[in-house]
Amino acid sequence: MKKQLVAIGVACLLTLSASSLAAGNSKPVAMWTCEDFLALDESYRPTAIGFAEALNKKGKVEDSVLDVDGIEKVTPMLIDVCKKDPQSKFLTELETAWKDIKKDM
């Protein structure tokens, strides 16, 4: 029960944070490049990753549970990859990083 409450709280926080992020960047997350991701303040990057991970193909929030530990692991990996190729698609790099994290678990 506590995990569900935490997940709901995090999802609400992500939604609020993402809407404040959207004020500075009018592109939908699905169209972000790594350069757009790197332009975010460092403190918002994990939030953006969590929000992007929760989106489905139609751009709607699908998952109500977030892997907070996974986000902590994938954030530095994604930052490194994005610094190497800032023009690559953010969501593509995120999916690849998640696959690498999950195969190591």
CATH number, domain of 6, equals 1.10.890.10
pLDDT higher at 73 or 67 = 73
9-40 pLDDT tens trace: 555 555 545 544 444 558 888 899 999 999 99
Range of the domain at 44: 2-104
Q: Tell whether pTM > 0.85.
A: no
Q: Could you give the number of structural domains in the chain?
A: 1
pLDDT at residue 60 above 60?
yes
Counting residues of the chain whose pLDDT is more than 90, the rounded percentage is 39
Is-contact 56 3, C-beta < 8 A?
no
Beta bridge partners of 55: 61
